[in-house]
């Protein structure tokens, strides 16, 4: 069995969805579990619905929701021939549930409502694609992943219960393949044992696909992207990038950790644990070789790998009483960052101060200052970038940093990181 993952970009237009069908058709006769994300930027749109709903602006939330509904109906009408296709009733049921939620008075946490509403994107996209595939002769079963992926209730970043999910996989997913070659399901979402929807973290569909690949002992996982494969830098940010034909799991984990926004960082572990290769392929041209990610890639020829994180803030946390920054104070500071869900992208400490680079999020910085201000003086610079280069060389660094005002640099044998 193979596992395919199609992300939002591959479903962003009618032509692209048709292209996805033609890719799947070219694998006729193979058993494929297909994981699908929300179409285009639907998740961002749904995030706006949640924000308005939670701020008490119900009307606006409802209008935005209706806009999303109308967009999906239009896509369905353009793709489907049968105006009485049962998928229309299924879509209606999803909207009605979302509208009920928006009609409620918020009494639970923001994160709870986020998951109940944002999960709609994947339910809509999979229902439409599954119905379209069936009409187009690609017989498939639509599966609600919330009947399979059991998680805790850590809303927006739920953790999978591997035992229950594995049992569901064996009992509910494997039998579907007795009758059909294709099963279509949602990435990014799951459910608690109370049947509440959860999400697994933004861009989490790559990870969902990896969980399926692991539990179904798939021969491979392929994620279909709008790029020819994994490149040595984001082609949207750097000119003259090169494709990487093969690379190891550990190198990709490093790239994802430093912020390369091409594969979700949690994706690799479930694959590495079972030695399942991960292919990154181009949905615009399936014949391009793409990238193979595995344990034993030949990385002798690996080019320097560049990762740029923009919109960064460099925080300086200095003790007010001239007390040293000790293991104890660092562990206290870390615990606060953890509680506020602030990820540290780079850190450095000196005698009485601790510096770190984090993503710019005004609310979180404000909350952090509130907690720390009695014991520490906090200052920060915003509008920064964090550049990471793996397998660097000096001429390349000089070129990348030309004309940049550098605020902090860390170098090891393989990796250099610069805040500028």
What is the binding site for ligand ADP (CB under 6 A)?
7-10, 225-227, 230-231, 233-236, 260-262
Which one of the spans 129-137, 202-210, 277-285, 320-328 is the region binding ligand PHD (CB under 6 A)? 202-210
Q: In terms of CB distance, is 191 or 291 closer to ligand ADP? A: 291
Q: Is 43 labelled a binding residue?
A: yes
In this structure, the number of other CB atoms found within 10 A of the CB of residue 145 comes to 25
Name which of 380, 382, 385, 384 is nearest 369 in CA terms: 380
**Residue 290 CB partners (closer than 8 Å, separation 6+):** 228, 229, 243, 279, 280, 281, 282
Q: In terms of CB distance, is 33 or 262 closer to ligand ADP? A: 262
Q: What is the end-to-end Cα distance of the chain in Å, rounded?
A: 46
Q: Is 149 labelled a binding residue?
A: no
Q: In terms of CB distance, is 6 or 249 closer to ligand PHD? A: 6
- CB 291, min distance to ligand ADP, A: 8
For 10, the token pair is: 């591959």
Separation of alpha carbons 62 and 70, rounded Å: 12
Which position among 3, 4, 7, 255 is part of the footprint of ligand PHD (CB under 6 A)?
7
Left, alpha or beta for 241 (phi > 0: left; psi -120 to 50: alpha)?
beta
Q: In terms of CB distance, is 53 or 207 closer to ligand PHD? A: 207
**Pick from ligand PHD, ligand ADP, none: which does 309 bind, CB < 5 to 8 A by kind?**
none
CB closest to ligand ADP, residue no: 7
Separation of alpha carbons 3 and 205, rounded Å: 12
Which position among 116, 146, 204, 260 is part of the footprint of ligand PHD (CB under 6 A)?
204
Which position among 113, 188, 212, 258 is part of the footprint of ligand PHD (CB under 6 A)?
188
Separation of alpha carbons 138 and 144, rounded Å: 19
Q: Is 188 labelled a binding residue?
A: no
- CB 82, min distance to ligand ADP, A: 28
For 127, the token pair is: 């229902």
Separation of alpha carbons 20 and 228, rounded Å: 15
CB distance 39 to 12 below 8 Å? yes
- The footprint of ligand PHD on residues 18-57 (CB under 6 A) is 37-38, 43
**Pick from ligand ADP, ligand PHD, none: which does 187 bind, CB < 5 to 8 A by kind?**
ligand PHD
Which position among 64, 72, 187, 293 is part of the footprint of ligand PHD (CB under 6 A)?
187
Task: Sketch the per residue contact string, 120 through 159, with ligand PHD: x for CB under 6 A, - otherwise.
Answer: -x--------------------------------------
**Pick from ligand ADP, ligand PHD, none: which does 188 bind, CB < 5 to 8 A by kind?**
ligand PHD
Which one of the spans 135-143, 201-209, 268-276, 299-307 is the region binding ligand PHD (CB under 6 A)? 201-209
Which position among 202, 269, 286, 391 is part of the footprint of ligand PHD (CB under 6 A)?
202
Separation of alpha carbons 357 and 382, rounded Å: 10
Q: Is 377 labelled a binding residue?
A: no
Q: In terms of CB distance, is 8 or 270 closer to ligand ADP? A: 8
- CB 77, min distance to ligand ADP, A: 23
Separation of alpha carbons 189 and 197, rounded Å: 7
> Which strands form 415-419's sheet, in the order they lie side by side?
344-349, 353-359, 305-319, 376-390, 415-419, 408-411
DSSP result, 256-276: HHHT-TTS-GGGHHHHHHTT-
For 165, the token pair is: 């999910």
Tracing tokens 């639970």 back to the chain, one arrives at 108
**Pick from ligand PHD, ligand ADP, none: which does 233 bind, CB < 5 to 8 A by kind?**
ligand ADP
Please give the angle made by the CA atoms of 279, 163 and 129, to the nearest 5 degrees.
45
For 221, the token pair is: 């996982």
Left, alpha or beta for 195 (phi > 0: left; psi -120 to 50: alpha)?
left
Which one of the spans 101-109, 196-204, 365-373, 388-396 is the region binding ligand PHD (CB under 6 A)? 196-204
Residues lying near ligand PHD in the complex (CB under 6 A): 7-8, 37-38, 43, 121, 187-188, 202-205
Binding residues for ATP: 5-8
Binding residues: 5-8, 43, 122
Binding residues for substrate: 43, 122
């Amino acid at each position: 069995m193979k596992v395919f993952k199609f992300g939002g970009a591959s479903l962003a237009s009618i032509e692209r969805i048709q292209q996805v069908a033609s890719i799947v058709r070219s694998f006729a006769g193979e058993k494929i579990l297909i994981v699908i994300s929300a179409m285009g930027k639907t998740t961002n749109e749904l995030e706006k619905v949640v924000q308005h709903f939670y701020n008490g602006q119900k009307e606006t939330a409802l209008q935005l929701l209706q806009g999303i509904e109308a967009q999906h109906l239009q896509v369905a009408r353009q793709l489907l021939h049968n105006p009485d296709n049962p998928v229309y009733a299924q879509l209606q049921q999803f909207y009605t549930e979302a509208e009920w939620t928006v009609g409620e008075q918020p009494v639970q946490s923001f994160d709870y409502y986020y998951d109940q509403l944002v999960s709609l994107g994947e339910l809509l996209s999979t229902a439409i694609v599954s119905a379209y595939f069936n009409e187009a002769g690609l017989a498939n079963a639509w599966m609600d992943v919330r009947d399979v992926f059991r998680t805790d209730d850590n809303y927006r970043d739920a953790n999978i219960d591997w035992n229950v999910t594995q049992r569901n996989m064996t009992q509910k997913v494997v039998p579907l393949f007795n009758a059909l070659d294709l099963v279509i399901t949602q990435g990014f979402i799951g459910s608690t044992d109370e049947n509440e929807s959860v999400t697994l973290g933004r861009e989490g569909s790559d990870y969902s696909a990896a969980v399926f690949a692991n539990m179904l002992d798939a021969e491979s996982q392929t994620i279909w992207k709008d790029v020819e494969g994994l490149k040595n830098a984001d082609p949207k940010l750097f000119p003259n990038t090169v494709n990487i034909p093969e690379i190891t799991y550990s190198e990709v984990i490093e790239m994802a950790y430093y912020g390369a926004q091409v594969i979700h960082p949690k994706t690799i572990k479930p694959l590495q644990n079972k030695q399942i290769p991960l292919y990154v392929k181009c949905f615009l041209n399936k014949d391009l070789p793409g990238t193979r990610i595995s344990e034993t890639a030949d990385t002798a020829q690996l080019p320097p790998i560049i990762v740029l994180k923009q919109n960064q803030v460099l925080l300086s946390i200095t003790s007010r009483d001239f007390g040293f920054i000790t293991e104890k104070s660092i562990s206290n500071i870390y615990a606060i960052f953890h509680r506020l869900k602030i990820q540290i992208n780079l850190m450095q400490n000196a005698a009485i101060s601790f510096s770190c680079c984090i993503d710019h999020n005004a609310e979180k910085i404000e909350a952090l200052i509130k907690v720390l201000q009695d014991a520490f003086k906090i200052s920060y610079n915003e509008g920064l970038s964090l550049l990471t280069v793996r397998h660097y060389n000096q001429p390349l660094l000089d070129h990348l940093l030309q004309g940049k005002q550098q605020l902090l640099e860390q170098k090891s044998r393989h990796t250099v990181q610069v805040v500028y």
